[in-house]
Amino acid sequence: MTPLQTIIAQRKLSALFQPIIDLKSGEFLGFEGLIRGPADSPLHSPVNLFGAAAQQNLSLEVEMLARQIVLEAFAKQKLPGSLFLNISPETLTHPGFKNGQTLEFMRQLGIDPARVVMEITENQPTYDFEEMRSALLHYRAMGFKTAIDDLGEGFSSLRLWSELRPEYIKIDMHFVQGVDHDPIKLQFLKSIQQIAESCGTRVIAEGIETEGELRVVKDIGIALGQGYFIARPSHTPPLLASNETSSIINSSNICIFPAAQVSHRSQITAQKLLSYVEPVQPETSNDQVFERFSSNPALHIIPVVKNGLPIGLINRYLFIDCYSKPFQRELIGKKPCNKFIQSLPLLVEKSMPIEELSHYLAEADTRHFADGFIITENERYIGVASGQDLLRELTRMQLESARYANPLSLLPGNVPINEHIERLLQANTPFIACYCDLDHFKPFNDTYSYRKGDEMIQLTGRLLGWACDHKQDFIGHIGGDDFILLMQSRDWKTRCEQALRSFEQAASLLFREEHLIDGGYSSEGRDGQIHFHPLTSLSIGAIQISPGQFMSHHEVSAAMSDAKKMAKKMPGNSLFIEQRTMGSLP
Looking at the structure, do residues 210 and 271 belong to the same domain, yes or no? no
Task: Tell me, yes or no, whether 403 lies in a domain.
Answer: no
pLDDT band at 368 (very low <50, low <70, confident <90, very high): confident
pLDDT band at 583 (very low <50, low <70, confident <90, very high): very low
Name, of 259-263, 315-319, 533-537, the range with top average pLDDT: 533-537
Query: How many Å separate Cα 97 from the centre of its chain?
Result: 43
User: How far from each other are the two terminal CA atoms of the chain, in whole angstroms?
Assistant: 65
Looking at the structure, do residues 387 and 444 belong to the same domain, yes or no? no
Specify the CATH number for the domain of residue 471.
3.30.70.270
Specify the CATH number for the domain of residue 282.
3.10.580.10
Q: Which domain holds residue 217?
A: 3-250
Taking residue 528's Cβ as centre, other Cβ atoms within 10 Å add up to 6
Task: Tell me, yes or no, whether 404 lies in a domain.
Answer: no
Q: What is the pLDDT of residue 328?
A: 82
Task: Tell me, yes or no, whether 517 lies in a domain.
Answer: yes
| Cα pseudo-dihedral 157, 163, 166, 171, rounded to 10 | 20
Return d(Cα 462, Cα 474) in angstroms, integer: 13
Q: What is the pLDDT of residue 156?
A: 55
Looking at the structure, do residues 157 and 283 belong to the same domain, yes or no? no
Task: Tell me, yes or no, whether 558 lies in a domain.
Answer: yes
3-state SS, 525-583, equals CCCCCEEEEECCEEEEEEEEECCCCCCCHHHHHHHHHHHHHHHHCCCCCEEEECHHHCC
For residue 580, which amino acid is it? Answer: R
pLDDT band at 553 (very low <50, low <70, confident <90, very high): very high
Is 49 in contact with 62 (CB distance < 8 Å)? Answer: yes
Return d(Cα 259, Cα 182) in angstroms, integer: 8
Looking at the structure, do residues 40 and 80 belong to the same domain, yes or no? yes
Return d(Cα 573, Cα 536) in angstroms, integer: 9
Looking at the structure, do residues 113 and 221 belong to the same domain, yes or no? yes
Return d(Cα 523, Cα 532) in angstroms, integer: 7
- Residues 114-168 pLDDT 10s: 999 999 876 555 556 777 778 888 888 888 999 988 775 544 566 677 777 889 9
Task: Tell me, yes or no, whether 542 lies in a domain.
Answer: yes
Taking the model in full, what pTM does it have?
0.67
Task: Tell me, yes or no, whether 450 lies in a domain.
Answer: yes
Q: What is the pLDDT of residue 325?
A: 84
Domain boundary residue, one of 364, 394, 424: 394
Domain boundary residue, one of 197, 218, 250: 250
Return d(Cα 86, Cα 83) in angstroms, integer: 10
For residue 181, which amino acid is it? Answer: H
Task: Tell me, yes or no, whether 456 lies in a domain.
Answer: yes
Looking at the structure, do residues 348 and 445 belong to the same domain, yes or no? no
Looking at the structure, do residues 439 and 353 belong to the same domain, yes or no? no
Looking at the structure, do residues 134 and 246 belong to the same domain, yes or no? yes
Q: What is the pLDDT of residue 372?
A: 84
Return d(Cα 444, Cα 319) in angstroms, integer: 53
Q: Mean pLDDT lowest for which of 88-92, 143-147, 580-584?
A: 580-584
Share of the chain above pLDDT 70, in %: 91
Looking at the structure, do residues 340 and 421 belong to the same domain, yes or no? no
Long-range contacts of 390-395 (CB under 8 A, 24+ apart): 390/273, 390/354, 390/357, 390/358, 390/361, 393/268, 393/272, 393/273, 393/354, 394/265, 394/354, 394/358
For residue 331, which amino acid is it? Answer: L
Specify the CATH number for the domain of residue 100.
3.20.20.450
Taking residue 543's Cβ as centre, other Cβ atoms within 10 Å add up to 27
Looking at the structure, do residues 29 and 105 belong to the same domain, yes or no? yes
Q: Nearest CA to 418 among 549, 586, 214, 558?
A: 558
Looking at the structure, do residues 389 and 418 belong to the same domain, yes or no? no
For residue 317, which amino acid is it? Answer: Y
Domain boundary residue, one of 250, 280, 311: 250
- Residues 442-470 pLDDT 10s: 899 888 888 899 999 999 999 999 999 98
Looking at the structure, do residues 276 and 207 belong to the same domain, yes or no? no
Look at the chain and report how many structural domains it folds into.
Answer: 3
Task: Tell me, yes or no, whether 326 lies in a domain.
Answer: yes
What is the b/e burial string over 139-150, where b = at least 16 CB atoms within 10 angstroms of the residue's CB? bbeeebbbbbbb
pLDDT of residue 265 exceeding 50, the answer is no
**DSSP per position, 510-526:** GS-HHHHHHTEEEEE-T
The residue-averaged pLDDT of 84-113 equals: 80
Phi-psi region of 15 (alpha: psi -120 to 50; beta: other; left: phi over 0): beta
Return d(Cα 279, Cα 306) in angstroms, integer: 9
